[in-house]
Structure 1
Amino acid sequence: MNNVKILVAVHKNYEMPQDTNTYIPVFVGKDLHPNVNNTFQGDNTGDNISGKNAHYNELTAIYWAWKNLETTDAIGLVHYRRYFTNGHKKTLDSILSQEDFQKLLKQAPIILPKKRCYYVESNYSHYIHAHHREPLDVTRNIIKKRYPRYLNAFEEVMNARSAHMFNMFVMEKKYFNKYCEWMFTVLKELEDCIDISTYDSYETRVFGFVSELLLDVWIKTNKVSFVETDYTFMEKQNWLEKGSKFLWRKIVNEKK
């Protein structure tokens, strides 16, 4: 793996890594916000779904790379405030380098962030307490009908209490292509099956939310080995606020 490219999904002006040989800032939803930033690579060149960013989140950057980034050995995605790191320092100096990624890819063809654990509930329970239940249930039906080979892994991931989240990964190009082909096909079928016209602006990001749980499903089904590494959220997080929101969503949704 001599050429690893890491997309940095960003939707506003923000400080970016200095290692431009490794990191590519991709302004997501560029079609929707054409005048916000003219420095970063837009997700609206070539074959793209930039116009769907309000519903697909950072997946518009992944789609852009899948269709347009050819000369690379491995492709990954991080976020402008969340990176793969050495330890947990909240500085761009701590993020992984080209050499770091190359070493990890010698161990396995996929690099993932360490799993996020929910402890008190399953991935499915956590999802439906935070979002509308229907899209995830429809996704299961799509997989059962169209991709039955993936159903057992889907059930395992839904029942587990941890997962590789945030759509963060680095993959050898051949695996990246195969994953994108499957994942975007499933999401397109989901898009055709559900009506999100009554969803609020947060919940309309549904396809990005669902995709976070599809990554482990794909890896389990295809039995692709992976290596985990640390990741860090670069800004201070208000854990009291996050915990309060989690409990509120859980209480409210359990009454539905």
Structure 2
Amino acid sequence: MPFQVGKALHPPIEFGVTCDNSRDNISSLNGRYSELTGSCWLQESRPSLYQSLVYYRRHFVKPDNPELYGGDDKLFAVASQRIDYESLLDEMGGNCSDRTEALY
């Protein structure tokens, strides 16, 4: 599930994904705590036995995927889709996707 962290600090930036400024959150502290605001949001909003964050999206950009977040800004090229991560988890010895709430 892709989600945007620090949304409270950047309200005009819209990626069309879930944001960390809903429910009980510390989104306004993102400038100081970075991805931890997203981690806290996950713990409060999406309780599950296993959680994972991948916050450096450029590691997972698919060069053959022309779809972009953020219009023409190449910085926000869409990262791999959830199904790509699920197939990688399967190859690693078991489907963990049913136990993982956030793959991004």
Q: TM-score, normalised by structure 1?
A: 0.26
Give the C-alpha shift of residue 81 in structure 1. 1.7
2:58 maps to 81
Q: What amino acid does structure 1 have at the position aligned with 2:24? A: D
Please tell me the root mean square deviation across aligned C-alpha atoms, in Å.
3.1
Q: What amino acid does structure 1 have at the position aligned with 2:2? A: P
1:218 maps to none
- Within 2, Cα distance between the matches of 1:81 and 1:52? 24
- Within 1, Cα distance between the matches of 2:84 and 2:16? 23
Q: What amino acid does structure 1 have at the position aligned with 2:86? A: Q
**Kindly, what percent of the aligned residue pairs are identical?**
29
1:127 maps to none
Give the C-alpha shift of residue 103 in structure 1. 5.0
1:65 to 42, 49, 53: 42
Give the C-alpha shift of residue 35 in structure 1. 1.6
1:97 maps to 85
Extract unaligned runs of 5+ from structure 1.
Answer: 1-23, 84-89, 110-171, 174-256
Structure with greater strand share of residues = 1
1:51 maps to 28
Q: Which runs of 4+ in 1 moved over 3 A?
A: 102-106
- Within 2, Cα distance between the matches of 1:81 and 1:27? 15
Q: TM-score, normalised by structure 2?
A: 0.59
2:4 maps to 27
- Evaluate the alpha carbon distance shift between residue 44 and residue 100 of structure 1 in structure 2; reply closer, same or farther with a 3 A threshold: same
- Within 1, Cα distance between the matches of 2:50 and 2:92? 12
Q: What amino acid does structure 1 have at the position aligned with 2:44? A: K
- Within 1, Cα distance between the matches of 2:90 and 2:84? 10
Measured against aligned partners, the alpha-carbon deviations of 1:44-86 in whole angstroms (never above 9, x if no partner) come to 111111011001111111111111102x453211122234xxx
Q: What amino acid does structure 2 have at the position aligned with 1:46? A: R
Aligned residue for 2:53, secondary structure, equals strand
Structure with greater helix share of residues = 1
Give the C-alpha shift of residue 104 in structure 1. 3.3
1:101-116 to structure 2, matched below 5 A, reads 101-102=89-90, 104=92, 106=94
Extract unaligned runs of 5+ from structure 2.
Answer: 63-79
Give the C-alpha shift of residue 43 in structure 1. 0.5
